[in-house]
Amino acid sequence: MIRDLVVVGCGGFGREVLEIVAAINHDRADWRIVGVLDDAPCDADLRLLKERDVDHLGGVGVLAELPPTTYAVLGIGSPAARRVISSRHPGRRWATLVHPAATLGSDVTVAPGAVIAPGSRLSTHISVGAHVQIDQNVTVGHDSRLGDFCRLNPQACISGSVDIGAGAYVGANATVLQGLHVGEGSIVGAGAVVVRDVDSARTVKGVPAR
């Protein structure tokens, strides 16, 4: 059954989400893109949407006017923004999108709204929370937990038994060593190596991260 889908956000990641949907539909049509919602799209993004024949339907508020059968996905990188939009639309159906070129092992649970990009590798016994974004070529080791709304940027390496708190942001090429906790709302800078637990709402960077 083909389901209607809107993408919230027409910036770079929002358009990457459109690519993930296209890849999912390549072998079997699962989704029909109704359009994209964005409060303040720039001219360049609107032009790129037009080139791929995708409509900009208006601002995020339009989400409340769509039929209850229409699914949505949050193509916005900011964990805080995704949390706010989700809280304002508690009855909305959220799509879970996994690129066919991602690898998910046994006993990997993925909550509604999560987006998993191509090249990502999730090994085994992993919990992926609601509206989590796992970008290209991320690796997640065994027995790890990714809290709601967190984001892992391209080529981040999450070792085994790691706990990533809700709304945390892990930069590109960053590494979190085994058994550590990255607190809620924290930021791990690009290329950082986390060797100790990170408190909530902290920003760490460097090698070792501090």
pLDDT tens for each residue of 55-66: 999 999 999 999
- Token pair 């408190």 is found at 199
pLDDT beyond 90 at 1? no
Q: Which of these, 135, 132, 127, lies nearest to 86 by C-alpha position?
A: 132
- My answer on whether 68 and 166 are in the same domain is no
Q: How confident is the model at residue 81 (pLDDT cuts 50, 70, 90)?
A: very high
Portion of the chain with pLDDT greater than 90, in percent: 98
Cis omega (within 30 of 0) for bond into 67: no
My answer on whether 51 and 143 are in the same domain is no
pLDDT number for residue 60: 96
- Structural domain boundaries, residue 153: 97-204
Q: What's the pLDDT score for residue 199?
A: 98
In angstroms, rounded to a whole number, what is the distance separating the alpha carbons of residues 204 and 193? 9
- Categorize the per-residue pLDDT at 27 as very low, low, confident or very high, splitting at 50, 70 and 90: confident
Residue 94 has pLDDT above 90, yes or no: yes
The answer, as to whether pTM is greater than 0.95, is yes
Q: What is the pLDDT of residue 98?
A: 98
List the one residue out of 47, 67, 66, 65 whose CA is nearest residue 56: 47
CA dist 152 → 36, 40, 77, 138 (Å): 23, 25, 10, 7
Give yes or no: residues 120 and 200 share one domain: yes
200 and 125 within one domain: yes
pLDDT at 135: 98
Task: Determine, yes or no, domain membership for 210.
Answer: no
For the chain, the average pLDDT equals 97
* Domain-terminating residue out of 94, 110, 126: 94
Residues of the chain with pLDDT > 70: what percent?
100
CA dist 16 and 177 (Å) reads 28
Whether 66 maps to a domain, the answer reads yes
Q: Quick one: which of 122, 113, 110, 99 has its CA closest to 19?
A: 99
What CATH number should be reported for the domain holding residue 57?
A: 3.40.50.20
Examine the pLDDT at 28 and tell me if it is beyond 90: no
Is the same domain home to 109 and 51?
Answer: no
Q: CB of 76 within 8 A of CB of 85?
A: yes
Single residue among 94, 123, 152 that ends a domain in this structure = 94
Within 8 A by CB and 6+ apart from 171, the residues are 153, 156, 187, 188, 189, 190, 191, 192
Q: Looking at the domain assignment, is residue 209 inside a domain?
A: no
The band of 43, judged by pLDDT with boundaries at 50, 70 and 90, is very high
Domain shared by 65 and 122, yes or no: no
| Mean per-residue pLDDT, 149-165 | 98
**Looking at the structure, do residues 67 and 134 belong to the same domain, yes or no?**
no
